[in-house]
Amino acid sequence: MGTHRRPKPPSRARIATLGIAAGAVSLLPTQSQAAPEPSMDEVRKQVAKLYEEAEAPTEEYNGIREQQQELQDEVDSAQDRLARKQQEVNELREKAGPLAAEQYRTGGIDPTVQLFLSSDPDDYLEKAEVLGRTGDRQAAALRALQGKQRELTQDRADAAKRLEALKEARAKAQEKKDEVQAKLTKARKLLNSLTAEQRAKVAAAQEHEDAAAGTSDATASYNGPAGGRAKTAIEFAYAQLGKPYEWGSTGPNSFDCSGLVGAAWRSAGVSLPRTVKQMYDAGRKVSKADLQPGDIIYWYNDSQHNGLYIGDGKVIHAPRTGKNIEIAQLDSMPFYAASRP
């Protein structure tokens, strides 16, 4: 029978180490010692900040999506051209085929030998003349084929570049989409960390804040001084009051900020670029003192948020996720600039 070795008792140093480790564990923060949960007001402010931060990448996403559509159109056109060129090359090959075959059958024998072997020299000379013309036609057909083949090769290279650019645009759009979604998801998690009663209080506090800022999403009709196309654009915006903000949307059931402005002016027959930045760059700048109903207002900077001035110091805009299209005071956000379509 084998002998059983008794386990070696722990050394004093080992015991001391274990004791220190146990003490360290006991000093780690327990659930009751965790950092305090943010207050309802802090949650509301964090959520508002996240929604605000989501606007810039939303506008970048809109611009990339517009570029992506242009690239897709270019790719479709390039593929159509390729198909036509390929058909032309195929037809030229078919034409050149019989000519090449004829030249092969007769071109392998020296002309002097052909004349010597011919029983009828006149007949040979007549055939030689025909073959000479055939050779000329073959050479012209081959030149045409080579030219079309070069064009086809170049078009294929161009189409490949456009396809690569389209892939890059798709990847960038997805990156911006993920960035927006991450901020919105974080905001939702913050809200979901509150109880139903706390969420109701947050909503009430937001409504109180909106009322103090003079905002309203109540359905109304425009009776201001605007005329012509500006009036048409404002009336369209009024008809959207109460519809939800949705990032990347241009209607008809929801809008983001630039989506609403673009749709309003489009209803008046004026085509605007897609994004806040593009609208700012394309518009005729006007000072705050010279504002007229229908002018586009930009807050914070030239690429984040915009809305439609309706007169009397008020605007219509699509605010942010979780809110509806509303009428607000012009100075409810930091005014940056204005432009006139």
* pLDDT 10s digits, 177-223: 999 999 999 999 998 888 888 888 878 877 777 777 777 877 778 99
Catalytic status, residue 305: yes
Count of all residues that appear for the chain in the document: 341
| pLDDT at residue 306 is higher than 80 | yes
| pLDDT at residue 141 is higher than 80 | no
Q: Give residue 61's Cα distance to chain centre.
A: 4
Average of per-residue pLDDT across 234-260: 97
Whole-angstrom distance, CA of residue 62 vs CA of residue 172: 11
Per-residue confidence (pLDDT) for residue 14, from 0 to 100: 45
Catalytic status, residue 85: no
Q: Which member of 85, 183, 317, 320 is catalytic?
A: 317
Let me know: does 231 contact 288? Beta carbons within 8 Å.
no
Q: Which residues of 112-144 are buried (b: 16+ CB within 10 A; e: fewer)?
A: eeeeeeeeeeeebeeeeeebeebeeebeebbee
Q: Which member of 92, 226, 234, 257 is catalytic?
A: 257
Sheet of strand 305-311: strand arrangement: 284-286, 335-340, 296-299, 305-311, 314-317, 326-329
User: Looking at the DSSP assignment, which residues form a beta bridge with residue 257?
Assistant: none
Token pair 């909106």: residue: 210
pTM of the entire structure?
Answer: 0.70
Catalytic status, residue 317: yes
**Domains of the chain and CATH, by start:** 40-192 (1.10.287), 218-340 (3.90.1720.10)
pLDDT band at 39 (very low <50, low <70, confident <90, very high): confident
pLDDT band at 93 (very low <50, low <70, confident <90, very high): confident
Whole-angstrom distance, CA of residue 229 vs CA of residue 245: 24
Q: Which member of 305, 316, 338, 339 is catalytic?
A: 305
Whole-angstrom distance, CA of residue 321 vs CA of residue 248: 11
| pLDDT at residue 64 is higher than 90 | yes
Per-residue confidence (pLDDT) for residue 211, from 0 to 100: 77
Encoded amino acid at 295, one letter: D
